[in-house]
Amino acid sequence: VCTYTAFDGKFGGLFVATSRDLRTWTKHGPAFTGTRHAKRWAKSGSIVTELVGDRLIAAKVNGKFWMYWGEGTCFAATSDDLIRW
């Protein structure tokens, strides 16, 4: 899972993409579609991970995936599927 900033010349928002091989990516669009944060400017999103063997894997905390995100102010968001936050 990759969070990245998409910028249309006026607004930069947090978007999500996924890949199984880190070569081919599927873009899923804005991370916060349908929420009050959909138009909140953001350049960074960091998903909480755990080390499993030699790989970092997205970790569930109390049954949800967690992400810290924002610009200037740090917010926390949760997700059931790592796509919609």
> CA–CA distance from 3 to each of 45, 53, 65 (Å)?
6, 23, 14
Report the distance separating Cα 23 and Cα 18, nearest Å.
10
Q: How far apart are the first and last CA of the chain?
A: 13
Beta bridge partners of 49: 58
Which pair of tokens denotes residue 8?
Answer: 């249309």
Whole-model pTM? 0.87
Write out pLDDT tens, residues 9-49: 999 999 999 999 999 999 999 999 999 998 898 888 999 99
Write out pLDDT tens, residues 49-70: 999 999 999 999 999 999 999 9
